[in-house]
Structure 1
Amino acid sequence: MPGPFTITYFPVRGRCEAVRMLLSDQGQEWQEDVVTMDLWQKGELKKSCLFGQLPKFRDGDLTLYQSNAFLRHLARTYGLYGKDQREAALLDMVNDGVEDLRLKYIQLIYQNYENGKAAYVEALPVQLRPFETLLSQNRAGKAFIVGDQISFADYNLVELLRNHLVLAPGCLASCPLLAAYVERVSARPHLRTYLESAAHRDRPINGNGKQ
């Protein structure tokens, strides 16, 4: 049996919120080991981390670093990696696309928010078009990003899109399939309960107050 699960991270949604969404939607519980900046700056915890960074994820006696590794591990555990190798390959492609967009989002939030936000938002329709295209090719956008079952890539994509809806509330206006997809996935009963909880709502999206 998997677990118990522990997320070790700063008190933000950041790179762990997709993991939290996946676990909550799958009816799983986890513990939060919250790391303050004072503790992190002391350096001992940083030295103990494999790549010198957080988050860290524990599944019983298995310790992992790198948030996308967490997602893929849980996907294999709970059958969230597509129905066959073809779907698994497509999901890897989607998740890499999500990571590309997330890196651009992180750069904006932490390095160029005031001067770069307007240009970033203006370019978003082009950045989001591949995901809209993928949805249109899968049951006319009425299902998930790949196949007929939810996957780890869905949680990752929906979480990032929800962040963008905070950054720019109208950003999905040109992507109606994506807009409906975010609402549909977010309305899944267990996931909706989590998204409406204080554990989600009261946790900042990013560590510098920008969103």
Structure 2
Amino acid sequence: MVGKPLLHYFNGRGRMESIRWLLAAAGVEFEEKFMHTNEDLEKLRSDGVLMFQQVPMVEMDGMKLVQTRAILNYIASKYDLYGKDMKERALIDMYSEGLADLNEMFINYPYYPSEQKEENLALMKEKARNRYFPAFEKVFKSHGQEYLVGNRLSKADIHLAEMVYNMEELDSNILAGFPLLQALKTRVSDLPTMKKFLQPGSQRKPPEDEENVLKVKKIFNF
């Protein structure tokens, strides 16, 4: 019997969070092994299981997978979240890559020096409101369907819902004027497995105090 996927990362969101969201949406239970010190990361490196010496790493189906997008694509393919043909997959990839650009800003935000945070927050909110969210609202308007591609759930929908949650943490009114994105957020959140995942206390939070931020920066070379 194949065991649950085992996720190797630190006890924060970072680049592993989109993997958690995708597994949760697919209804896949997973386990996590957190790294708390640089020695934990060096142990994985010395064991030879990190092809490029970096995490996240996911043990799944007899493989030790690294590189976030490769992991996401494997999960999406396995659990039918990657469209029905090459054209749909191309659209899903296009939407996902666009979201990855904004998500990278969100991932790095907690680790900016305090004097840079306000500027980066303003830039992130500006790009969400004026570039990314209008683009996805337009996609929904163009076809009138419930999901971005092929009128069925894909990894692009899950990544978009995650990004909406992220941006609402920073600005509770950021979805004003985007009713179709709000509808998608509700639709994804109402999936039974996502309801469980999104229960209070279930999501991983990035370090909030300066000591932990510096520790994570040291381990993961932010």
TM-score range, shorter chain: 0.7 to 0.9
Aligned ranges 1:170-209 → 2 under 5 Å: 170-196=173-199, 198-200=201-203, 203-204=204-205, 206-208=206-208
For residues 27-64 of structure 1, the C-alpha deviation after alignment (integer angstroms, 9 at most, x for no partner) is: 221110111135347x3434542222211011132111
What is the RMSD of the two structures over their aligned residues, measured on CA atoms? 2.3
- C-alpha spacing 1:137/1:109, structure 2 compared with 1 (3 Å): farther
Q: State the shift of 1:108 in Å.
A: 3.6
**2:55 counterpart SS class:** coil
Q: Equivalent residue for 1:82?
A: 83
Aligned ranges 1:42-191 → 2 under 5 Å: 43-46=42-45, 48=48, 49-111=50-112, 112-127=116-131, 128-138=133-143, 140=144, 142-191=145-194
Instruction: Work out the number of aligned pairs and report it.
Output: 204
Structure 1 unaligned blocks of 5 or more: none
Q: State the shift of 1:157 in Å.
A: 1.8
Structure 2 unaligned blocks of 5 or more: 211-222
* Contact 1:135 1:146 survives alignment (8 Å): no
Q: Counterpart of 2:13 in structure 1: which amino acid?
A: R
TM-score by length of 1: 0.85
Q: State the shift of 1:144 in Å.
A: 1.1
- C-alpha spacing 1:26/1:116, structure 2 compared with 1 (3 Å): closer
Alpha-carbon distance in 1 for matches of 2:179, 2:155? 22
**2:147 counterpart SS class:** coil
Q: State the shift of 1:135 in Å.
A: 1.9
Q: Counterpart of 1:199 in structure 2: which amino acid?
A: S
- C-alpha spacing 1:46/1:129, structure 2 compared with 1 (3 Å): farther
Q: How much identity, in percent, do the aligned residues show?
A: 32
1:19 aligns with 2:26: no
* Contact 1:7 1:33 survives alignment (8 Å): yes
TM-score by length of 2: 0.81
